[in-house]
Amino acid sequence: MRKRINGYLLAGLFLTAALLLMTLVGAFHTPYSPTAMSGADKFLPPSLAHLFGTDNFGRDIFSRVLKGTGTTLTIALATVLIGAVVGTCVGAVTGYFGGLADDILMRLNDALTAFPSILLALLIIGLVGPGKYNVVLALGIVFIPSFARVTRTAFAALRDVNYITSARLMGAGSARILLVHALPNTLRTLLPALTIGFNNAVLAEASMSFLGIGVTPPDASLGYMLSEAQGMFTAAPWYAVCTGSVIALLVFGVGLIGEGMQALDREVD
Amino acid sequence: MLEIKDLHVKFHNRDREAVAGISLTIADGEIMGLVGESGSGKTVTAMSIAGLLPRKQCQLSGDILLDGQDLLHARRSELRKLHGKKIGVVFQDPMSSMDPLMRVGKQVGEVLRIHARDKDDAAQKAMVLQALADVELPEPEVIYHKYPHELSGGQQQRAMIASAIVIRPSLLLLDEPTTALDVTIQAQILELLKKLNRETGISMLFISHNLNVVRKLCSRVAVMQRGELVEEGGTDTVFFHPRHPYTQHLIASIPTRSGKELR
Amino acid sequence: MKYALKRVGMLLVTMLLVSFLTFLAFQLVSGDPVRTMLGTEATEAQIAALRSELGLDRPFFVRYFDWLCGFFTGNLGTSFSYRQPVWDLISSKLEITLLLSLISFILITVTSIPLGVLSYQWVGGPMDWVRTAFNQLCMAVPPFFTGILISWFFGIALRVFTPGDFPGLHTNPAGALRYLFFAAVCLSIPRAAMTVRMMRSTVISEMNKAYVRTAISRGNDRRTVLMAHVLKNSLVSVVTFLGQTMAELVGGSVVVEQVFGIPGLGRLLVTSISHRDYPVVQTLVVILAFWVVLAGTLADLVNQYIDPRLRLGGAV
């Protein structure tokens, strides 16, 4: 009997769903305008009126965190989407057909994965310049190899499996085999990879924005907000603590989902 | 010397008992064959003698006595001393049964480092070399310093036998020791086991699904089916006058004069 | 010894290839740095003069060869934005970044291997989920966030070091090391958590192997088996992972240096990337790539020492 759920998965889904819901609401409505400054409300500690307190301009940090989480989430999702779609295609095709193209692409893949991802992203940003869309592009490219690797392994293993061979004997075309038969079976390795990719994307985007070469104002980003918050830590420690905790919770939640999925997978074996 | 009385083994995650009340005696210097198809409980029986069953995952009852000493109910640390010293075990696949990163000599000598601490390094090494020579490995001194992957399959299994007999235990458990080897090597290993039995008088419990092999080696044979002992007796008696239908079925399906293995 | 030489040879070939590709790539994307530097109002004569001053008027292969030799002579060209020799800009910063990465690496190695073994002992126990959750949490907290907290707590509150005031590495080595230690802790936490997790699953799968049963049949208890057999067998994958870690640490240190105000390569890399200072960037890329390949090679060599089976073929 296959278990569908476990504690990790449940806790992770709950945490992630809560954060997603807040962000979604935040996209349409925030308690205060995230950009509204108020000289009288400078450096207010957390209270019922300002859940996360206010910053040096009297802006409501909770509202800004909601917006920032929105940006971070959008970027991470877009990045993972690019990486997963392109990577899966590359990995599926090279893994399924093998041959010289497979060898060359995988060599390139090895070289790219060996290089620290944040540095690779920095280099691409160096070529195309900072900004929201360029961050998505840079991180998307950086994450292609890891997804290609995961899918390639799964597809190469499937190449000679019986039911694929029988599908081929029954006259199914390659594209049909890849889509209908092989892809669903790779999901069990792909899904945990997606959670890891998502977390890497969140952390990479936050790091880059923290360095000032990722998302730049006026767009709000948790990483950039943290770099602001560091400068005023003594005056408003809640700024850094709240912003940093939101990043950590986001990554933690998705990490638990990944852990849960792998635990389920182990029980099946 | 080995006495099994009404042994029951039940794994918590299974409904049926893996071993359902077995009683068996092995006399001094005897080679007993234990036959049955996979899942019949023969390996579980051997593992319970060797103390290799995960105690948390199963329930054991009955008695196993080796020279009058209890092998089932004593404290774990006590049992461990007994198990390594009095019982040697040889497993099916020699390659994976050896630690790939440890030199052969060191692996063969491991049991001495645990149970013969009174002997110094030189004495232990001499015993290991003697054991390697006993199993007819060429140039023991060279083999001593090799890694498992540098030996052939037959040599690996000889080394495993050497590691099981180096401390001169009174019982040797052989769990399908020739199944992973090809037929010529298989015959050589059987000859070796016979010789060891003749020269040292060590008792053996030889587990196999291959009746031909059992017939060549064992003086007595026991047949297991679904956790129960269905027949037991002298090898020739069982082979020529099988009483139980399952034994008759097993013997009828031996491929004659073809050297093929029975599945 | 033969395989070690072969592996080092492979390293050199890889590095040659990487340096050539990097040089080529930067030549292709850099456009005309001279026009960028001088702006749109420069005369042709000014442009030609600066071009020959920077050595940009020579053929491609000559410039590549010169640049390659520069890694040994220290003459790696001139930074566009600082107008300083690249090597002078890089050398002192490189020292600090490598030292930071090295301290983190040591921290990760000495903590994660024992913790990995320890966390194996918890497998299936009632507190196992606490360990898993804590492990995930360590991976989730970004190093720059821990950095802010640690530099406030140890720097501002306890005054163990002064954040933002990095003591000179040569004038005050003890102070500099203390400063770097706190940064290294932040850098290490997530990666150590990953290593522990990885180590634990490796030990679990090794414990299920047949040789463990053999060892137990000889009268070992599970603890001795773990120490005498399983640990060594698990090390191969852990060493490979640590090799990747060594590479990743240099990337991570860029961010942590920013938090702690450490004058390492991080700041230089970020500014030279945003100012498109290609001579600096391409040199940094090659140095970092060398670090990455070197880490991989070292990991392979250590593994060949551990596992005799890897010494046979050349292919690992």
Residues B142 and B196 occupy one common structural domain: no
Alpha-carbon distance B251 to B231, whole Å?
Answer: 13
Spacing of C-alpha C289 from chain mean position? 9
Question: Among B94, B91, B54, B65, which Cα is nearest to B6's?
Answer: B65
% pLDDT > 70, chain B: 97
Alpha-carbon distance C85 to C89, whole Å?
Answer: 7
Confidence check: pLDDT of A98 > 50: yes
Alpha-carbon distance A72 to A66, whole Å?
Answer: 10
Q: Which residues of A touch C (CB under 8 A)?
A: 7-8, 11, 114-119, 122-123, 125-127, 130, 199, 203, 206-207, 210-213, 223, 226-227, 229-230, 233-234, 237, 240-241, 244, 247-252, 255-256, 259
Please tell me the predicted confidence (pLDDT) of residue A152: 81
Facing residue for B110 by CB, picked from C218, C221, C233: C218
Dump pLDDT digits (tens) for C208-243.
899 999 999 898 888 889 988 999 999 999 999 999
Lowest mean pLDDT among A26-30, A137-141, B93-97: A26-30
Please tell me the predicted confidence (pLDDT) of residue B74: 77
Interface partners of A (3+ CB pairs, < 8 Å)? C
Residues B64 and B179 occupy one common structural domain: yes
Confidence check: pLDDT of C172 > 90: no
3-state secondary structure of B253: coil
Mean pLDDT of B183-204: 91
Residues B161 and B229 occupy one common structural domain: no
Confidence of residue B147 (pLDDT cuts 50, 70, 90): very high
Residues B177 and B263 occupy one common structural domain: yes
Residues B72 and B177 occupy one common structural domain: yes
Confidence of residue A181 (pLDDT cuts 50, 70, 90): low
Choose one of B123, B149, B168: the last residue of a domain.
B168
Residues B119 and B231 occupy one common structural domain: no
Pairing of strands B203-208, B171-175: parallel
Confidence check: pLDDT of A92 > 60: yes
Residues B180 and B60 occupy one common structural domain: yes
Please tell me the predicted confidence (pLDDT) of residue B263: 37
Question: Among B231, A127, B50, which Cα is nearest to C274's?
Answer: A127
Confidence of residue A133 (pLDDT cuts 50, 70, 90): confident
Mean pLDDT of C88-92: 85
Alpha-carbon distance A138 to A127, whole Å?
Answer: 10
How many independent structural domains does chain B possess? 2
List the single best residue of A122, A227, A269 to mutate versus C (max C Cβ within 10 A): A122
Residues B55 and B161 occupy one common structural domain: no
Which is higher by pLDDT, A43 or B32? B32
Please tell me the predicted confidence (pLDDT) of residue C242: 92
Phi-psi sector, B36: left (phi>0), alpha (psi -120 to 50), beta:
left
pTM for the whole thing?
0.85
Confidence of residue C59 (pLDDT cuts 50, 70, 90): confident
Confidence of residue B261 (pLDDT cuts 50, 70, 90): very low
Amino acid at C143: P
Say yes or no: C106 contacts chain A, CB-CB below 8 A: no
Residues B230 and B111 occupy one common structural domain: no
ipTM of the complex in this document:
0.87
Confidence check: pLDDT of C316 > 50: no
Please tell me the predicted confidence (pLDDT) of residue A163: 64
Contact C288 A115 (CB under 8 A): yes
Mean pLDDT of A202-222: 83
Residues B63 and B142 occupy one common structural domain: no
Spacing of C-alpha B73 from chain mean position? 21
List the single best residue of B49, B79, B101 to mutate versus C (max C Cβ within 10 A): B101
Please tell me the predicted confidence (pLDDT) of residue B126: 93
Question: Among C31, C19, C26, C25, which Cα is nearest to C67's?
Answer: C19
Dump pLDDT digits (tens) for B44-84.
998 888 888 887 788 888 888 888 888 888 777 888 888 88
Dump pLDDT digits (tens) for B112-124.
998 888 888 999 9
- C163: tokens are 């954040």
Confidence of residue A172 (pLDDT cuts 50, 70, 90): low
Confidence check: pLDDT of B259 > 60: no
Choose one of B111, B138, B168: the last residue of a domain.
B168
Please tell me the predicted confidence (pLDDT) of residue A237: 84
**Mind spelling out the 3-state secondary structure of B189-257?**
HHHHHHHHHHHHCCEEEEEECCHHHHHHHCCEEEEEECCEEEEEEEHHHHHHCCCCHHHHHHHHCCCCC
CATH superfamily label, C87-312: MetI-like (1.10.3720.10)
Please tell me the predicted confidence (pLDDT) of residue B11: 87
Choose one of B117, B147, B168: the last residue of a domain.
B168
Alpha-carbon distance A164 to A180, whole Å?
Answer: 10
Residues B130 and B66 occupy one common structural domain: no
Contact C307 B101 (CB under 8 A): yes
Please tell me the predicted confidence (pLDDT) of residue C314: 43
Residues B80 and B184 occupy one common structural domain: yes
Domain coverage including residue B195: 1-86+173-263
Which is higher by pLDDT, A245 or C37? A245
Confidence of residue A192 (pLDDT cuts 50, 70, 90): confident
Say yes or no: C252 contacts chain A, CB-CB below 8 A: yes
**Mind spelling out the 3-state secondary structure of C195-226?**
HHHHHHHHHHHHHCCHHHHHHHHCCCCHHHHH
